[in-house]
Amino acid sequence: MFSRTFASLVTSSIFIQSTLAGYVLSDDFTKDAFFGNFTPFTENDPTNGFVKYLNYNDAIKSGLMASVANYAGAAYMGVDNSSKPTEGRPSMRITSAKTYNKGLFIADIAHMPVGCGTWPAFWLVGPNWPAGGEIDILEGVNLQASNQMTVHTNAGCTISTSGMTGTVNTTNCDTNAQGQKKNAGCAVMSNSKNNYGAGFNAIGGGVYATEWTSTAISIWFFPRSSIPSDITSLTPNPSGWGTPLAKFAGGCNIDQHFQNMNMVFDTTFCGQWAGADDVWAASSCSQTTSTCNAHVQLMPDAFTEAYWLVNGVRVYQQGQGKIRKRGVSVEW
C-alpha cells in the first residue's frame, strides 16, 4: 500500500515538471504588437508634472513616437527636445488595454529616459488608487543611479525586509502610513549602478522581470549580457533566477491589495517627486536652475537622453491543466 502510493506520486510529479507546469506565454507585446496594445493617456498628470501628454497622432507628427520598423523592432517613445513650452514639455504616457491579476511580466528595455527633471516609470496600477494597488518596477528621478522599486496600497499591507538584495527603506505600503512621508509606500532601493538611468543605458539596458503571485511580488533585473536562457527561449522559470532585487511579501494579503492592474510606461517631469523642493535641491541638477520647472521649460537640449526604447513586454500566466496517470489525478 505504502510503496504503491509513493510510486504513483513520484511518477506524477516527474510528469508535471517535465511537461506542463510553469509559466505559459499569454500576451506578447513586441514589435508591431506593442503600441496597439497600449492606449495613450492624455489628461493632466495626476502627479502634477510639468508635462503635456500627447495622443498617438500628435506624438507621431512631432517625432516623439516612431514606427518600430525604424528602430529594429523596438518601440521608441521620446520627449520634445526643441521647444521652450510654458505649459509642460510634450511627452507620452501609455496604458495597457488589458488588466491583470497576477502573472509574470517580462519587459525588455534597451534605453530608458534619464536627465535632470525627468521622472520616468514602468509600473502597474489598479483601479480606485490606492485600493487596487500600484507596483513601481522601474522608477526614479533626475540623475538617480540605481532603481527604486515601490508598492503603494491602502491600509493593511506591510512587508518584511528579507529575501532580496535591495535595501528596504519603508515597510508600510499604505500611502497614508504614519511615520513615513506621504505616498512613500514600501520602497526598496537597489544598490546596483547598472539598472537605472545612465548606467542602464550604457550596457544597452536589459530585462526587468516581475513575478506577482498570491504570496509575493518579486522583481529581478538582468543586464543585457546575462539574460537567462529560459527568458530568451520564452520558457521563464523564476525558481532558477536567484534572490530578487526586491520582494514585497510579509504582512500583506496580496490578492486583496493588488487587483485588475494595467501596465504603464511614462516620462513625466518635475511634479511631486522629481520637482519636490528638497529632492531638486539635493540633486546636482539644482546647480543650473533653482527650480525643476525652470530647467524643464528652458533647457530643451537637456532632454536628448529622455527616451524609452522598449524591445517589448511579454506576460506569462501559470499553466493550467489536469493529468491522470495510473488512477492518480493531479490538478494545478
Ligand X SMILES: *[C@@H]1O[C@H](CO)[C@@H](O)[C@H](O)[C@H]1NC(C)=O
> Half-sphere exposure of 206 toward its Cβ, with a 13 Å CA cutoff?
21
Nearest approach in angstroms of CB 148 to ligand X is: 7
With binding defined as CB under 6 A, does residue 169 bind ligand X?
Answer: yes
Give the number of residues in contact with ligand X, rule: CB under 6 A.
12
Site string (289-308) toward ligand X, x via CB under 6 A: ---------------x----
- Which of 169/318 has CB closer to ligand X? 169
Give, as ranges, the residues between 197 and 236 that touch ligand X (CB under 6 A).
Answer: none
Pairing of strands 38-40, 93-96: antiparallel
Instruction: Give the range of 37-45, 91-99, 111-119, 176-184 binding ligand X by CB under 6 A.
Output: 176-184
**Cα(217)–Cα(259) distance, integer angstroms:** 13
> Which residue among 54, 64, 125, 135 contacts ligand X (CB under 6 A)?
64
With binding defined as CB under 6 A, does residue 67 bind ligand X?
Answer: no
Nearest approach in angstroms of CB 126 to ligand X is: 22
Query: 115 by DSSP, 3-state: which?
Result: coil
| 43 included as an active-site residue | no
With binding defined as CB under 6 A, does residue 154 bind ligand X?
Answer: no
Going by C-beta distance under 8 Å and a sequence separation of 6 or more, which residues neighbour residue 330?
Answer: 12, 16, 322, 323, 324
- Which of 92/209 has CB closer to ligand X? 92
Reduce the secondary structure of 216-243 to three states and give it as a string.
CEEEEEEEHHHCCHHHHCCCCCHHHCCC
Quickly count: other Cβ atoms within 10 Å of residue 321's Cβ.
13
Instruction: Give the range of 11-19, 179-187, 222-230, 240-248 binding ligand X by CB under 6 A.
Output: 179-187
Instruction: Give the range of 116-124, 184-192, 193-201, 239-247 binding ligand X by CB under 6 A.
Output: 184-192
Instruction: Give the range of 101-109, 178-186, 200-208, 225-233 binding ligand X by CB under 6 A.
Output: 178-186
Q: Which of 87, 134, 305, 331 is catalytic?
A: 134
State phi, psi for 170 to the nearest 5 degrees.
-140, 140
What b/e readout covers 23-37, taking b as 16+ CB neighbours within 10 angstroms? Answer: beeebebbeeebbeb
Nearest approach in angstroms of CB 122 to ligand X is: 18
With binding defined as CB under 6 A, does residue 81 bind ligand X?
Answer: yes
With binding defined as CB under 6 A, does residue 180 bind ligand X?
Answer: yes
With binding defined as CB under 6 A, does residue 63 bind ligand X?
Answer: yes
Could you say which DSSP state residue 47 is in? Answer: T
CB closest to ligand X, residue no: 78
> Which residue among 54, 157, 184, 302 contacts ligand X (CB under 6 A)?
184
- Tell me which amino acid residue 263 is: M
Are the CB atoms for 153 and 261 separated by under 8 Å? no
| 134 included as an active-site residue | yes
**Cα(328)–Cα(10) distance, integer angstroms:** 11
**Cα(225)–Cα(214) distance, integer angstroms:** 31
Handedness of CA 216, 170, 296, 199 (dihedral sign): negative
- Which of 36/63 has CB closer to ligand X? 63
With binding defined as CB under 6 A, does residue 171 bind ligand X?
Answer: no
Active site residues: 134, 139
Residues that bind ligand X in the complex, under the rule CB under 6 A: 63-64, 78, 81, 169-170, 180-181, 184, 187, 189, 304
